[in-house]
Amino acid sequence: MKLGIHIPQIGRKAGPDAVRRGAIQAEDLGFDSIWVNDHLAIPHDAPYPPSKSFYEPLITLTWAAAATARVELGTSVLVLPLRIPAHLAKELATLDLLSEGRLILGTGVGWMEGEFDAMGVPFGDRGARTDDIINILRACWQEDPISYKPTTVTAALEGIRTLPQPERKIPIWVGGNSAPALRRAKALGDGWHGTRVPVGEIGPIVDDLRAARGAEFVISMRLFWDPLEDDLDALAEMTEAYATAGVDALILEPRQRGLDDWLRAVEGLWKLLQPWHG
């Protein structure tokens, strides 16, 4: 199972040195990928996330890419409906080219209605808008000029060129545990990016996705875990269960607010999870 780790992008621990140190540490330890979160505008009274301070994810990954040479670069997850599709396609293609083919695009529809209000994007059609944007991204990356006709997004793309295009197929992992998210993953994704699915429920999901998409479809799971406080035996048992069920990649996010504790937590997670790495 491949192992990924979030880098310190959020809250008081974040900063240019923190991102660089976190990315280099992850690569040196042997993690396969590094990951960032996404929020653009958070209501002041929102109960989650605990910190309202987020470095922008794609710029953060670009900074991390410049400090590393091997680790893949993932978004967990980028809220697609909030983006201008052609602009986003250019950003992602550029990041993939500059990092020499290391980007994994984890996508989501979003859940915070106040964030959509702040960005001037309708909340009610975010699912259909996400589907449309995934298709637009692929058209921008594969067609020259573009022939795709958007169905939800208002954009005149026919005949447009958005060069340069990535030199490979950027993998799109569809995030979310809901039935619509799983349908979207099967219809449009190269992988599924679940979050904290109980081990007793993961088997049928894996079987359904494998039956629909085959062995090449990537199944990943994201967990929040604090190795300085949480039960490490429980995490080991959970990891074993996910691996047995057929999960291909496990993505961990520590919860520490200080940088030194964050880096110690990452080292502890790597030591614990090494038996399942491969």
What's the pTM? 0.97
Dihedral over alpha carbons 52, 181, 222, 244 (to 10 degrees):
170
Q: Which domain holds residue 23?
A: 2-276
Convert the pLDDT of each residue in 86-101 to its tens digit: 999 999 999 999 999 9
Convert the pLDDT of each residue in 207-259 to its tens digit: 999 999 999 999 999 999 887 778 889 999 999 999 999 999 999 999 888 99
Count of structural domains, the chain: 1
CATH number for the domain including 204?
A: 3.20.20.30
What whole-number distance in Å separates Cα of residue 129 and Cα of residue 121? 10
Convert the pLDDT of each residue in 111-152 to its tens digit: 999 999 999 999 999 999 999 999 999 999 999 999 999 999
Output the pLDDT for position 218: 98
In angstroms, the Cα distances linking 21 to 10, 220, 274 are 14, 25, 21
